């Protein structure tokens, strides 16, 4: 009995020690199974690895897509110069939205009249005329004819040429009208063709012609009152185009004021914050600047000032992020040494960075009334024969 038990035990041990049977393919018939705890651990490790791989795959795909767009945009701009023209004018950006340009009083301009002029066939431009604050009470409820007659009163007139984007009802523009009106000026401003509620397609030539038409319209009604031209940002390009043309026909304005001006549109485009990501892109000028020129857009302030013969005042904030301060200073240096200004006053007024006036808030300066009074007070017939 004892021997039998020992025999059974030995056979059992042999069976346990014997290798698992092989199938015809010489592989184990029964797969080895890991303990449950070990399998669970491996599954837990696979999930984070899978997530990381999926996240990296999506991130890589996004980077490749962005890189493709980055490289494609220059070629798109080169093939379609109209895109670059749109970016220069930005006339499709209407800010603030939902304002009725026929009702300037909604913007706090209670002594302002809205009317429309037609510089050319199929072109209509919307105009605002704000009278001096001293005439404010009399202006309320008056019609366009009264406002036109008021231009003949003994108050100087400023023709204001705004920059790109927005309309004549832009917030900073409205605030400037109020300041100038309080200082005793008529302010006449308008939206170029293609801006605001003005009808037509924008172009440098068209914008300049619109400005010329409004200037002539003012002169026909203002008598001997001084007429000054004030351009801001892109409007400085329109202003120097206009004044050069006026000087060539020997009907110059009494003074030219340039706020935040540039030298020419190519240098401004190269310095604009939008161009930062492409500034060092191979062929930047060919891709981005040449299409502007191809579209007939130059706004060559640096060339125009060489043919302008009237007093010139330049205002520029040192912290201007849109038109760099050095471009305004460079334009001043060109004008100051130009023979065309030898008999006229040329002045450059910088505004320190600490003031925070940036690109469009110079109207906030408490010094502005004094600056204008001192400059315009002696600008008329500032000849030194």
Q: Could you tell me if 273 and 245 are in contact, meaning their C-beta atoms sit under 8 angstroms apart? A: no
* Structure confidence at residue 240 (pLDDT): 98
**What's the gap between Cα 211 and its chain centre?**
21
pLDDT for the residue numbered 385: 30
Write down the pLDDT at residue 71. Answer: 77
Domain CATH for 164: 3.40.50.1820
- Say if residue 220 is in the same domain as residue 79: no
Q: Would 64 be classed as within a structural domain? A: yes
Average pLDDT over residues 68-82: 79
Identify whether 25 is part of a domain.
no
Domain membership flag for residue 273: yes
pLDDT digits (tens, 9 = 90+) for 22-55: 454 444 444 445 455 555 555 555 566 667 777 8
Tell me the β-bridge partners of 230: 160, 257
Structural domain includes residue 83 = yes
Q: Are residues 106 and 255 in the same domain?
A: yes
Q: What is the DSSP string of 235-257?
A: HHHHHHHHHHHHHHTT---SEEE
Please pick, among 186, 272, 316, 359, the residue that the annotation labels catalytic.
Answer: 359
Q: Give me the catalytic one of 155, 311, 320, 338.
A: 320
Domain of residue 60 covers: 54-89+269-296
Tell me, what's the pLDDT at 197?
A: 96
Question: How confident is the model over 187-222, as pLDDT tens digits?
Answer: 999 999 999 999 999 999 999 999 999 999 999 999
| 130 in a structural domain | yes
Question: What's the rounded mean pLDDT across residues 322-334?
Answer: 98
Give, rounded to a whole angstrom, the gap between the first and last alpha carbons of the chain: 146
Two tokens, residue 158: 């400023």
Same domain, 192 and 274: no
Active site residue: 181, 198, 222, 233, which one?
233
198 counts as catalytic: no
- Pairing type for strands 123-130 and 112-120 reads antiparallel
Mean pLDDT of 337-363: 97
Please tell me the total number of residues recorded for the chain in this structure. 385
77 lies in the same domain as 143:
no
CB 161 within 8 A of CB 232: yes
The answer as to whether 353 is a domain residue is yes
- pLDDT digits 0-9 by tens, 104-140: 999 999 999 999 999 999 999 999 999 999 999 999 9
Whether 350 and 208 share a structural domain: yes
If asked whether residues 183 and 71 sit together in one domain, one would say: no
Asked whether residue 32 is domain-assigned, the answer is no
233 is annotated as an active-site residue = yes
Contact 258, 233 (CB under 8 A): no
Residues 144 and 284 in one domain: no
Which has the minimum average pLDDT: 91-100, 108-117, 243-252, 255-264?
Answer: 91-100
> How do strand 112-120 and strand 157-161 relate by DSSP bridges?
unpaired
Is the separation of the CB atoms in 133 and 182 below 8 Å?
A: yes
pLDDT over 50 at 15, yes or no: no
Band (pLDDT 50/70/90 cuts) for residue 283 is confident
169 domain residue, yes or no = yes
How many other C-beta atoms can be found within 10 angstroms of the C-beta atom of residue 64?
10
User: Count of domains in the chain?
Assistant: 2
Could you tell me if 179 and 279 lie in one domain? Answer: no
């Amino acid at each position: 009995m004892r021997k039998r038990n020992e025999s059974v035990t030995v056979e059992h041990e042999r069976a346990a020690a014997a290798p698992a049977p092989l199938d015809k393919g010489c592989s184990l018939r029964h797969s080895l199974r890991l303990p449950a705890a070990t399998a669970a651990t491996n599954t837990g490790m696979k999930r984070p690895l899978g997530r990381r791989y999926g996240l990296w795959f999506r991130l890589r795909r996004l980077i490749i897509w962005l890189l493709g767009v980055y490289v494609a945009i220059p070629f798109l701009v080169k093939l379609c110069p109209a895109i670059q023209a749109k970016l220069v004018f930005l006339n499709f950006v209407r800010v603030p939205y939902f304002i009725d340009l026929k009702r300037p009083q909604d913007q706090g301009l209670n002594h302002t009249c809205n009317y429309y002029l037609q510089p050319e066939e199929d072109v209509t431009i919307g105009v605002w005329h704000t009278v001096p604050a001293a005439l404010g009470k009399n202006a309320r409820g008056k019609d366009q004819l009264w406002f036109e007659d008021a231009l003949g009163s003994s108050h100087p007139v400023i023709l204001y040429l705004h920059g790109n984007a927005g309309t004549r009802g832009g917030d900073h523009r409205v605030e400037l009208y109020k300041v100038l009106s309080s200082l005793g000026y008529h302010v006449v401003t308008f939206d170029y063709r293609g801006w605001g509620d003005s009808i037509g397609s924008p172009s440098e030539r068209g914008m300049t012609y619109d400005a010329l038409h409004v200037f002539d319209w003012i002169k026909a009604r203002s008598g001997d009152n001084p007429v000054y031209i004030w351009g801001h940002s892109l409007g400085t390009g329109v202003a120097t185009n206009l004044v050069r043309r006026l000087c060539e026909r020997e009907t110059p304005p009494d003074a030219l004021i340039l706020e935040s001006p540039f030298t020419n549109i190519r240098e401004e485009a190269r310095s604009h914050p939008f161009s930062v990501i492409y500034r060092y892109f191979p062929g930047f000028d060919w891709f981005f600047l040449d299409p502007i020129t191809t579209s007939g857009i130059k706004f060559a302030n640096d060339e125009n000032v060489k043919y302008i013969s009237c007093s010139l005042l330049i205002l520029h904030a040192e912290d201007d992020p849109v038109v760099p301060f050095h471009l305004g200073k460079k334009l001043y240096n060109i004008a100051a040494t130009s023979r065309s200004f030898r008999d006229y006053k040329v002045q450059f007024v910088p505004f320190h960075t600490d003031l925070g006036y940036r690109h469009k808030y110079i109207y906030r300066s408490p010094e502005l009334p004094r600056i204008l009074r001192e400059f315009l007070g002696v600008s008329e017939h500032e000849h030194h024969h």
